[in-house]
């Protein structure tokens, strides 16, 4: 099997790469070749048991997508994206990266011919939904995004569904919750504080909380996100039916409940490192985000996420901090 990961230099791309290198297989088939691409060339994993090619590529550029699939990957994970805050701040960049790149990729696959029909797993987002919301957003709720990022992801879902319907590929879109706790430096996502109020205190550093503690959102860990992607790649087309875009399971939790979990796992000293500094702009963006889901269809198909925020924090400590708190 040949796998292609776009956006491979990003956090989830790196973790997915590491997991596939460790497993050496996907969907019951041995991986023989892997291609990693991103706007900045991804780092090739050490000691991979198969051939790995890396490339710096802008998929929205002419011929870049055709070059990315030139060796006919069997499974494509399309993770290339700019995050919510950046997509809102830079309208042109958001549409180029989040919308144009998937259209170019789908067209390259369609035009490849010769019976080429890969599995394509698209990382979408719960940002495709917009207020007003029911108490829990079910599988029948319609897409009404209230941000450019959400609109771009919704466009990707619609394109994926149509190209799959026409038989050009075997697609599945997975709407990821907000992924926490994200390791490394903060990114430009408006949701970044959800991670920073856990990550920085665990590392002995101060974190800024720009919203009130009653803000509620939908979460899963990076570990769960990788599992979602791998499970999606393994699902038979017949199990999905015509509706190929799915909201992933997650945990509905308030900021106050996050902080309480931090206290249970790491103690009161960690909590004291959180500084309240209200930001009206961020609060306005967050107010339009979904808070809770009833992801029963994804659950019935075997997707799983954490059931407590304590689990999410412990996963970060185990995966990023070597099991130790700073």
> pLDDT for 168-191, tens place per residue?
999 999 999 999 999 988 777 778
Residues 6+ apart with CB under 8 A from 260: none
Q: Per-residue confidence at 326, pLDDT binned at 50, 70, 90?
A: low
Residue 245 · residue 161 · CB < 8 Å = yes
Residues 6+ apart with CB under 8 A from 236: none
The answer regarding whether domain 192-217+251-293+303-320 maps to CATH 3.40.710.10 reads no
Structure-block tokens of residue 45: 């994993």
Which of 95, 116, 149, 163 is labelled catalytic? 149
CATH superfamily of the 2-176+220-247 domain: NAD(P)-binding Rossmann-like Domain (3.40.50.720)
163 is catalytic: no
pLDDT at position 191 is: 86
Using a 10 angstrom Cβ sphere, with 0-12 exposed, 13-18 middle and 19 or more buried, the burial of residue 299 is middle
> pLDDT for 36-76, tens place per residue?
999 999 999 999 999 999 999 999 999 999 999 999 999 99
Q: Per-residue confidence at 115, pLDDT binned at 50, 70, 90?
A: very high
Distances in Å between the Cα of 17 and the Cα atoms of 37, 52, 91, 267 are: 11, 10, 30, 34
Computed over every residue of the chain, the mean pLDDT equals 95
Cα–Cα distance measured from residue 198 to residue 94, given in angstroms and rounded to the nearest whole number: 28
Q: Per-residue confidence at 287, pLDDT binned at 50, 70, 90?
A: confident
For the chain, the structural domain boundaries read 2-176+220-247, 192-217+251-293+303-320
């Amino acid at each position: 099997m040949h796998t292609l990961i776009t956006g491979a230099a990003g956090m989830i791309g790196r973790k997915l790469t590491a997991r596939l290198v460790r497993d050496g297989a996907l969907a019951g088939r041995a991986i023989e070749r892997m291609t990693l691409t991103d706007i900045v060339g991804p780092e090739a994993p050490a000691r991979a048991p198969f051939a790995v090619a890396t490339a710096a590529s802008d998929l929205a550029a002419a011929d870049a997508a055709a070059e990315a699939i030139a060796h006919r990957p069997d499974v494509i994970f399309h993770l290339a994206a700019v995050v919510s805050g950046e997509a809102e701040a830079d309208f042109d960049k958001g549409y180029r990266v989040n919308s144009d790149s998937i259209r170019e990729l789908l067209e390259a696959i369609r035009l490849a011919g010769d019976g080429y029909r890969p599995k394509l797993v698209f990382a979408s987002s719960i940002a495709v939904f917009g207020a007003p919301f029911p108490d829990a957003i079910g599988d029948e709720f319609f897409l009404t995004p209230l941000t450019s990022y959400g609109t771009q992801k919704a466009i990707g879902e619609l394109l994926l569904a149509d190209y799959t319907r026409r038989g050009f590929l075997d697609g599945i879109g997975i709407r990821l919750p907000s992924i926490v706790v994200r390791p490394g430096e903060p990114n430009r996502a408006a949701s970044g504080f959800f991670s920073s109020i856990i990550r920085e205190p665990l590392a002995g550093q101060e974190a800024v909380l720009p919203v009130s503690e009653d803000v509620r959102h939908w979460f899963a860990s990076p570990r769960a996100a990788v599992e979602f992607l791998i499970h999606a790649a393994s699902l038979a087309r017949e199990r999905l039916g015509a509706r190929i875009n799915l909201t992933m399971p997650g945990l509905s939790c308030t900021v106050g409940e996050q902080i309480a979990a931090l206290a249970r796992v790491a103690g009161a000293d960690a909590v004291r490192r959180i500084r309240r500094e209200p930001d009206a702009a961020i609060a306005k963006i967050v107010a339009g985000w979904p808070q809770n889901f009833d992801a029963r269809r994804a659950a019935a198909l075997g997707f799983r996420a954490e059931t407590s925020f304590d689990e999410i924090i412990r996963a970060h400590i185990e995966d990023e901090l070597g099991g130790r708190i700073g």
